């Protein structure tokens, strides 16, 4: 069992000191406490994950499976002075894929030939020539940076779909097979032409230590959530996108190096509808941790977070959304502060709201209704401006903030469905100083429901048959930057 003493190392001490410099001693203490709590909750994850992998019989079945439309998937790997051992493990994780119609496009900007030797050696050891021929390797005359190197790899790709893989990370053997299962479900035909509704796919991920002896930080991702993507690049790995969509973006832009994939994802999803984006709720990708990777050491590439902020700002500008992007105490996580657009809002209690008909509410001429019961006090002075800024967006039907109980614990930070399909409050009972799973209690994201007695609702989004439900097509958003507290209970 991990203990605090087992976690003491120079690397972790440096990380704590850097966090303390940015956020102060008190927040650092809460940060350490929450990290230890999560590690304890996840102590069995590595064993459980390994036991959940497909067995040899299942892997054999996957290798023999024939899909109705076998798409070719081009995996892009930009490389530069990579650790040869990690690089070889990455190569082997691709070669072992149970779905065979792939090509691996490697653009190597290294000064030395170490990686070239690894590639040639791996190709020479491939059990058949066809397998080796799927590996396309190009040694660059100079290092073009991560975006430039990735663009070279993209130019080498001939596949129907493009996948992104870092030079030292690892795919599960069934990664491409799981992607193909989703693509198979998206197929439709117009006459004799085969098309696919699914144009972008991402999976869950976790981290793996240097010697692959431990998996941790399981990232259970939600289905597509633009608010969460504007708060953090939660999609990240394993990303697969239709090649025409990828090329229409113009590729990867050097000014966003370090967050080039975040920018790339924005420019992809801006072309798509939500129905074109699919999430695979299983871990197919392992993010390698080392002292120089952002996976294990967020301080190692501070420039990447500045690039991420720029990427979010550029995305909002392209969509003509007035907002400011602010950093949060957690590196790589951001706040989008939407401009107050002067929505006309009326305030009433939940009981009053329920007693009025939908048409009667709309007849009052307000753009929004702030439902706020008397036993709830706002802790954020400008909470109406904060919430109305989010609500002004055309796709948003309702928004609420973080609700604390009288003992300063989180009562709700949005709602989610439990295993039985029942709506339950997220992060209920969590210390209010904690940021929640993947910081979800402290960043904006889409939510399945909102508290009935503390929420702002867009009047045009109210259904005729139920005032508590939002019309189809509108989303509900959780915004932690408007904070409320229940006075009693």
> Which tens digits make up the pLDDT trace of 203-217?
999 999 999 999 999
Q: pTM of the full predicted structure?
A: 0.92
Backbone angles phi, psi at 101, to 5 degrees: -90, 75
CB 251 within 8 A of CB 173: no
Residue 397's pLDDT band (cuts 50, 70, 90): very high
Mean pLDDT over residues 162-187, rounded?
Answer: 97
Helix (H) or strand (E) holding 325: strand 323-327
Residue 336: pLDDT over 90: yes
The pLDDT assigned to 300 comes to 59
Residue 194's pLDDT band (cuts 50, 70, 90): very high
Which range is least confidently modeled, 8-12, 223-227, 256-260?
Answer: 8-12
- Residue 282, C-beta contacts closer than 8 angstroms, at least 6 positions apart: 178, 203, 204
- What is the average pLDDT score of the chain? 91
The pLDDT assigned to 251 comes to 96
Helix (H) or strand (E) holding 216: strand 215-219
d(C-alpha 476, C-alpha 446), whole Å: 6
d(C-alpha 372, C-alpha 351), whole Å: 10
Most confident of 246-250, 359-363, 459-463: 246-250
The pLDDT assigned to 4 comes to 47
Helix (H) or strand (E) holding 20: helix 10-23
CB 154 within 8 A of CB 105: yes
Task: Output 64 or 489, whichever has higher pLDDT.
Answer: 64
Mean pLDDT over residues 195-207, rounded?
Answer: 97
Residue 10's pLDDT band (cuts 50, 70, 90): low
Residue 9's pLDDT band (cuts 50, 70, 90): low
Of all residues in the chain, the percent with pLDDT exceeding 90 is: 79
Strand, helix or coil for residue 285: strand
- Minimal CA–CA distance to 444: which of 349, 323, 348? 323
- Minimal CA–CA distance to 336: which of 319, 308, 316? 316
């Amino acid at each position: 069992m991990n203990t605090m003493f087992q976690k003491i190392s120079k690397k972790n001490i440096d990380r704590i000191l850097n966090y303390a410099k940015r956020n102060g001693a008190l927040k650092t203490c809460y940060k350490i406490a929450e990290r230890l709590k999560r590690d304890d909750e996840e102590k069995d994850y590595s064993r459980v994950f390994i036991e959940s992998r497909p067995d040899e019989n299942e892997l054999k079945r996957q290798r023999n499976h024939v899909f109705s439309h076998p798409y070719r998937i081009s995996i892009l790997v930009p490389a530069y002075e990579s650790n040869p051992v990690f690089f070889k493990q990455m190569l082997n994780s691709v070669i072992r894929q149970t779905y065979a119609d792939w090509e691996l496009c490697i653009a190597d900007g290294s000064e030395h030939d170490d990686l070239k030797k690894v590639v040639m050696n791996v190709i020479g050891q491939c059990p058949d020539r066809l397998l080796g021929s799927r590996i396309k390797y190009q040694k660059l005359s100079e290092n073009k940076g991560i975006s430039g190197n990735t663009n070279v790899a993209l130019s080498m790709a001939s596949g129907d779909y493009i996948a992104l893989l870092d030079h030292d990370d690892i795919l599960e053997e069934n990664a491409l097979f799981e992607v193909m299962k989703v693509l198979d479900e998206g197929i439709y035909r117009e006459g004799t032409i085969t098309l696919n509704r699914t144009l972008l796919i991402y999976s869950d991920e976790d981290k793996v230590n240097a010697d692959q002896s431990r998996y941790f930080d399981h990232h259970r991702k939600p289905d597509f959530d633009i608010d969460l993507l504007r708060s953090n690049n939660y999609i990240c790995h394993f990303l697969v996108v239709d090649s025409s969509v990828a090329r229409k973006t113009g590729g990867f832009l050097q000014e966003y190096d370090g967050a080039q994939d975040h920018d790339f994802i924005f420019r992809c999803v801006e072309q798509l509808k939500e129905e074109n984006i699919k999430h695979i709720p299983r871990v197919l990708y392992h993010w390698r941790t080392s002292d120089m990777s952002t996976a294990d050491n967020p301080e190692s590439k501070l420039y990447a977070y500045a690039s991420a902020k720029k990427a979010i700002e550029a995305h909002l500008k392209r969509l003509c959304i007035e907002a400011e992007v602010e950093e949060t105490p957690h590196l790589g996580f951001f706040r989008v502060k939407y401009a107050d657009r002067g929505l006309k809002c009326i305030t009433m209690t939940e009981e009053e709201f329920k007693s009025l008909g939908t048409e009667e509410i709309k007849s009052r001429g307000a753009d929004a209704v702030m439902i706020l019961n008397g036993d709830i006090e706002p802790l954020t002075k400008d909470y109406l401006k904060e919430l109305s800024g989010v609500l002004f967006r055309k796709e948003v039907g309702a928004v609420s903030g973080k609700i604390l109980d009288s003992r300063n614990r989180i009562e709700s930070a949005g709602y989610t469905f439990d295993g039985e399909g029942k709506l339950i409050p997220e992060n209920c009972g969590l210390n209010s100083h904690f940021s929640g799973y993947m910081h979800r209690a402290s960043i904006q994201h889409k939510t399945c429901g909102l508290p009935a007695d503390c929420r702002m609702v867009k009047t045009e989004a109210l259904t005729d048959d139920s005032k508590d439900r939002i019309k189809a097509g509108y989303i509900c958003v959780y915004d932690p930057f408007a904070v409320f507290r229940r006075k009693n209970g």
